Structure 1
């Protein structure tokens, strides 16, 4: 059910995480080469897990409670990715000489916003179904 709001929000998360893996750089090294999220095993696992959870959540539209729980788990995974990016960026060698960061470190934050919006829409759907069940 791609026409539902939460499905569209989750699709945006999938697209953002896919872009983060290959196209959006995190920062530039001293030799002017860009570093991507796929260059680190920890961030690669976190971003792929977030991408897969969001993709699975899209197809669990009939199981709203499980979809809600997977959304919360996905938010935690994105917080881990942000923490890893910040920690790694603060410990870069030669930080005083070069300080050019890419936009990639902010993508998990944007993903968290869209996951929160999706969870809000899932909760709204669940409340609507509960209110209709009361009338039966």
Structure 2
């Protein structure tokens, strides 16, 4: 259901994890080359899983509990991705003479995590509303 706010949050998280990571570099290496996430297979797999979980979560709007669990798994995947970005950026080779620039692409998992947390908060609110209506019957 597109009219639910959590679906809007999930669509924005989908855009951040899939589309923006394709076009925004994670960092610029010391020799001036741009580094995108798809240049490393580990990043590609994690972003692919995150994108797939977001799409499945959007599709399963009738099962709020499953949607909630998928979003939590997606948050964990994005935290792993962020950890790998930070680890890789701190251990870049050739950093003695020239310092590489960290790009805004490194912070996109943080944006995705915030959107997924907001979606989970809205899902919890919907679930509480349904439970309160069931109690009245």
Q: Distance in 1 between matches of 2:35 and 2:59?
A: 33
Secondary structure of 2:17's match? helix
Secondary structure of 1:25's match? coil
- 1:132 corresponds to: 133
- 2:39 corresponds to: 39
Segments of structure 1 that go 5 or more residues without pairing to the other structure are: none
CA displacement, residues 66-110 of structure 1 (integer Å, 9 cap, x when unaligned):
000001000000000000000110110122412311111100011
**Superposed CA RMSD:** 1.0
Tell me whether 74-83 or 21-30 shows the greater mean CA deviation.
21-30
Q: Any runs of at least 4 consecutive aligned residues in structure 1 with deviations exceeding 4 A, and if so which?
A: none
Structure 1 residues 16 and 36: CA distance shift in structure 2, 3 A:
same
- 1:22 corresponds to: 22
- 1:56 corresponds to: 56
Alignment coverage as a number of residue pairs: 136
Q: How does 1:1-136 map to 2 (within 5 A)?
A: 1-96=1-96, 97-136=98-137
